[in-house]
Structure formats: structure tokens, C-alpha cells
Amino acid sequence: MSEFDKKLNTLGVDRISVSPYKKWSRGYMEPGNIGNGYVSGLKVDAGVVDKTDDMILDGIVSYDRAETKNAYIGQINMTTASSFSGVGGTVLGYDILRNPEVDKAKPLFTEKQWDGSELPIYDAKPLQDTLVEYFGTKDDMRHYPAPGAFVCCANKGVTAERPKNDEDMKPGQGYGVWSAIAISFAKDPTKYSSMYVEDAGVWETPNEDELIEYLKGRRNAMAKSIAACGENTAGENGGAVFTSSWIGFAHAMMKPGQVGNAITVAPYIAMPVDSIPGGSILTPDTDMDIMQNLTMPEWLDKMGYQSLTKDGNIKY
């Protein structure tokens, strides 16, 4: 058990989050899970469909397409959380199944926090990739949420259409859709929560390269928002300071007559016991230790899985 978990235990907190299911993840707080903790991961994706005569149904289909793209979270009952990973939480790719790319990453820039410290901002792709590896994709399904599971998620999204006649753009119409997610890790996680931030929008010009450049700049706006949220907690006893923020994006351009949907999701789950090499429902403490001590590549090797994200195979 890590020193941090020992400290949490003295406060009556455990981060155990194990499901008795043999394949599927389960939603946090679903009955039958073992432990009081939760595991979350980062997903941003966008999907498009050809428009029919019913925008509501088109929105449903395009949203479902984004859910089932890359890290598979299709067929779930999604409920909304307000975006924190607190003392009971662990994050895939960072706290458990740590992706070595996290340790190799260089900051893109820094943002000043309320206490004067600099907050380094990183590309979240290593964390996004870890959720893909763990859940799998629709063509290589691994430990994705059980069909029909009730999964609590930090989430936002946007739906837009591109009309066949581009000259008559109206509100809610555009050439593309985009989404963004950020996770910022608390410096003192026994007092303050790590924080998710989600964003999404419609792109209103036909130039995809301009959208990509816009998203790079969008990181700056998100970083300022993160720093401001930390300052909101500041009082005479201090406030939330973050050690790092990881921001990732997805986007999709639409052809004339298509509907697009961009989603940003952080699902809160319990891990199925057979996703833990050497795991057992009889030793949940040991199960969490195993997942904390394994890197993502080591986990892939022990599970006999081929990497889905190697060589940039996954595009967001």
C-alpha cells in the first residue's frame, strides 16, 4: 500500500474500486462494487452522420458514434458529475497503469496560479491513450463499461449541422465540431480535489487547419480557467494549487448535409477483477496495489494485449 493510501486510511478513506464482473467495468456507485473509491479516465471524441429530416434523432446517432469511437463507452446510461477526482479517486494513465509517456512529456507552457507558482500545461494524449488501451475499441473490446451500466461521468458536448447550402448558415450550424478535456492534479490531494474541466464548440469556417490552430490556443483559455478555479478555493488556510494540467482535444469536420457531435467525458468506474493481473475479489487492497505498480505497457504485456495506440494509430 502506498504511503498516500496509508494516510488516507487514517482519515477513513480508501481508493479501492473493484467490480466482481469478469470482463466489464461498472459504474461508480453501482451496487455490488467492492471498495469506496473510483477510477476515472479521459475521453474526447467527435462523430458525424448524414442528416435526415429529424435533428433530434440525428443528434442521438452522432452522439452514439462519438461514444463508440476510440475508447469504447457505447450503450451506457450516462449520468453527470460536476468534474472532480477527490480523495477516493485514481486516474488511469497517471495514478494507476501509469503511461510512461507522462514522465517523458515536456510542458507546452505554464500558467501562473494564485499563490504565484507556475502551473505546467501538458498534452493529455498519454492519458487519453490509456483509456483506449483499457476499455478497448469497438473492434477490439476489452474492459469497457457493461452494456446498460449506470456510469457517472464528467461530461459536456455539442451538436451542430452543416447545411447543404453553406451560404445560409444559422445559429447551431457550422463546418465542424470540437471538444476538450483537462485534468489538473492537486498538489495536496488530502485536502483538495483534482479537477476536470470540459469544453466544446462549433467551428464556423471551412478551414480545418485553422480549427487545429484555434484548439492549440484554446489551451491558454482553459489554463486560465483552471487557475481561476484554484483561486476560488483560496482562504485564510490556503487553497487549491495544482502540480500539472493535462489538456486534450478532439474534432470532426462535416460535409454538406451532415450532423456532427463532439463529446468530452470522464467516466467514473470500478475495475473488473479479471482486468487486474493476479487480482482477486478476496484481496481488493492488493488489487489496487497491483494496478498502481504496473505501467500501462507492463499491463498490456501481462494481459496479452497488443497496443492499440502505438505509432499514433488512434486519432482524436
The yes-or-no answer on residue 198 being catalytic is yes
Binding residues for substrate, as ranges, are 64, 82
How far apart, in Å, are the Cα atoms of 66 and each of 44, 73, 223? 8, 9, 25
Q: Which of 30, 198, 210, 298 is catalytic?
A: 198
Binding residues, as ranges, are 64, 82
C-alpha cell at 57: 434523432
Cα separation, 214 vs 60, whole angstroms: 27
SS3 track for the chain? CCHHHHHHHHCCCCCCCEECCCCCEEECCCCCCECCCEEECCEEEEEEEECCCCHHHHHHHHHHHHHCCCCCCCCCEEEEECCEECCCEEEECCCECECHHHHHCCCCEEEECCCCCEEEEEECHHHHHHHHHHHEECCEECCCECCCCEEEEEEEEEEEEECCCHHHCCCCECCEEEEEEEEEEECCCCCCCEEEEEEEEEECCCCHHHHHHHHHHHHHHHHHHHHHHHHHCCECCECCCEEEEEEEEEEEECCCCEEEEEEEEEEEEEEEHHHCCCCCCCCHHHHHHHHHHCEHHHHHHHHCCCCCCHHHCCCC
CA contacts within 13 A on the Cβ side of 172 = 4
Nearest to 45 by CA among 66, 63, 25, 73: 66
Position 217: which residue type?
A: G
- Looking at the annotation, which residues are catalytic? 198
